[in-house]
A and B are shown apart, each in its own frame.
Chain A
Amino acid sequence: MILTVTPNPALDKFYWLATLPETLAPTEEGILIRAEKSLTSAGGKGINVSVFLAAHGVETVAMGFLAGHSGQIILRDLLARGVSANFVWIEGENRTNVALIVRGREYHPIHITEEGPWVTPEAVEIFLRKYERMLRRASFVVLAGHLAPGLGPDFYGELARRARAQGVKVVVHTGGEALLRTFPERPFLVKPDVREALRLGELPVRTKEEILVAGKRAIQEGVELCLISHHLTGDILISADGVWEFEARVPLSTFRNLVGADDALVGGILVGLAQGKDLLESVRYGMAAAVASAEVEEKLCLDKDRILAEMERVEVRRGGP
């Protein structure tokens, strides 16, 4: 079983627009933007990974904190998609995250994100008891996404420590200090979230050379595998055994919704490993899942045949010094 932790779940709302107003300056009539289409689904990085895993028949349990009306909708969506849910209920309301996708520039969506409800120490205590219990059934745990208000930067570090103590492999898919605090617990795989800042700790990760320096530093600090996005269609995998570059030969014009593609990448790697594929083939499957997800309007492409077809376009080569 693969456990995922999403401390700050969200209701993801997508609007597709033909165009944006040329100016947001106040007018007499006000500003009205009509969406051509919209979609709503349960979201948050760990939740997306669980949805991907469940669609591939991999047993998964999603954990985190749910609140209010949006929490009910998130839970309902997860259960309908075959994900087992073991959340702690708290006061308030889960986030609604909005993405505006404008025709012709789908690879540059506009995001509006909320902060999320406050998690009390009492709720953390309840969560940790549930988490310890679920770890006994897990082979991997995925710690993913932003921390909710009220959670300290060591939250993921503590969860990684407990997982390591029970022999459960840890995958971390987040950014900032919360990611760095997991390194001493020797996570199996880290996929830094660099959407807000192209940095891993104090190191920049803009160029290939910078990615190699930052990735190797992570390996020195205890990480087993570090996967860093180089650009929209390329990722670099760094381990103690070497460096591999993955490239998907697809034009950006085929992309329709980039939100969730990163999570499909992590989900795809775990599906590959759960099916007994070797590491490089698993990452290739993850890359194919990410590309396929970016090419559909839904957040995640769950069509296995389409993902397998995308694998033809994903190349891997040994790279770096």
Chain B
Amino acid sequence: MKVRDFLRRDLTSVDRDTPLGQVIRLLEQSGHASLPVVDEEGRVIGVVSERDIIRALLPGYMDLLRSASFLPSLNQMAKKLKEIAHLPVERFMTREVVACKPEDTDLHVADLMLRKGLKQIPVVDEAGRLVGVVRRIDLLSHL
């Protein structure tokens, strides 16, 4: 089966200069766990996920420790969020975009998701413009 047969034609996205606070609000309102970041032509130039935002809020050493048990509370994260909420999302997004095309097969997308550990990947046209997304559940429900 081709991606075009089961993709989710949801074009919800953010611009590269969208403030991080607005991105968090959109993730909450729309129920998405990640969002494509697009340029002026609608081409996907990055992806921002809840994980990217949490990583931006945690102190640098947390990546090394791989545990949040050293945090006394979440106050530090709240303070950090206030400091960076106005900054553009392009500073926090993942720039190496893993995307697929409508003509790709379901097997190709499943392989991408497994290998890269992704829950959702954007679908782009020949010009790199966003035309939808594929979630793991979209694949599962079409098996």
Min CB distance, B21 to chain A, in Å? 12
The answer to whether A85 touches B40, judged by C-beta atoms less than 8 angstroms apart, is no
The answer to whether A85 touches B30, judged by C-beta atoms less than 8 angstroms apart, is no
| A84 contacts B by Cβ under 8 Å | yes
Q: Per-position contact with A for B74-118: 1 when CB-CB < 8 Å, else 0?
A: 000000000000000000000000000000000000000000000
The answer to whether A84 touches B131, judged by C-beta atoms less than 8 angstroms apart, is yes
Residues of A within 8 A of B132 (CB): 84
| A289 contacts B by Cβ under 8 Å | no
| B58 contacts A by Cβ under 8 Å | no
In the complex, residue of chain A having the shortest beta-carbon distance to the beta carbon of B17: A129
Residues of A within 8 A of B12 (CB): 85-87, 89
Chain A interface, number of residues (Cβ within 8 angstroms): 20
Min CB distance, A4 to chain B, in Å? 13
**Bound complex: CA A136 to CA B41 (Å):** 8
In the complex, residue of chain A having the shortest beta-carbon distance to the beta carbon of B38: A133
**Bound complex: CA A137 to CA B30 (Å):** 24
Q: Per-position contact with B for A59-92: 1 when CB-CB < 8 Å, else 0?
A: 0010000110000100100010011111101110
- Which size class do B's interface residues fall under? 10 to 19
Residues of B within 8 A of A89 (CB): 12, 26, 29-30
What is the number of contacts between chain A and chain B, taking CB atoms within 8 Å? 38
**Bound complex: CA A129 to CA B41 (Å):** 10
In the complex, residue of chain A having the shortest beta-carbon distance to the beta carbon of B39: A133
The answer to whether B29 touches A84, judged by C-beta atoms less than 8 angstroms apart, is no
Residues of B within 8 A of A137 (CB): 42, 129
Min CB distance, B33 to chain A, in Å? 14
The answer to whether B11 touches A86, judged by C-beta atoms less than 8 angstroms apart, is yes
| B60 contacts A by Cβ under 8 Å | no
Which residue numbers of B lie inside 8 Å of A, CB to CB?
Answer: 8-12, 15, 26, 29-31, 38, 40-42, 129, 131-132
Given contacts A66-B30, A85-B10, A86-B11, 9 further A-B contacts (CB under 8 A): A61-B11, A79-B9, A84-B10, A84-B11, A86-B12, A89-B30, A129-B15, A134-B42, A136-B41
Selected A-B contacts with CB under 8 Å, 29 pairs: A61-B11, A66-B30, A67-B29, A75-B10, A79-B8, A79-B9, A79-B10, A83-B9, A84-B9, A84-B10, A84-B11, A84-B131, A84-B132, A85-B10, A85-B11, A86-B11, A86-B12, A89-B12, A89-B26, A89-B29, A90-B29, A133-B38, A133-B40, A133-B41, A133-B42, A134-B42, A136-B41, A137-B42, A137-B129
Cβ-closest 8 pairs across A and B: A86-B11, A84-B9, A89-B29, A133-B42, A89-B30, A85-B10, A89-B26, A79-B8
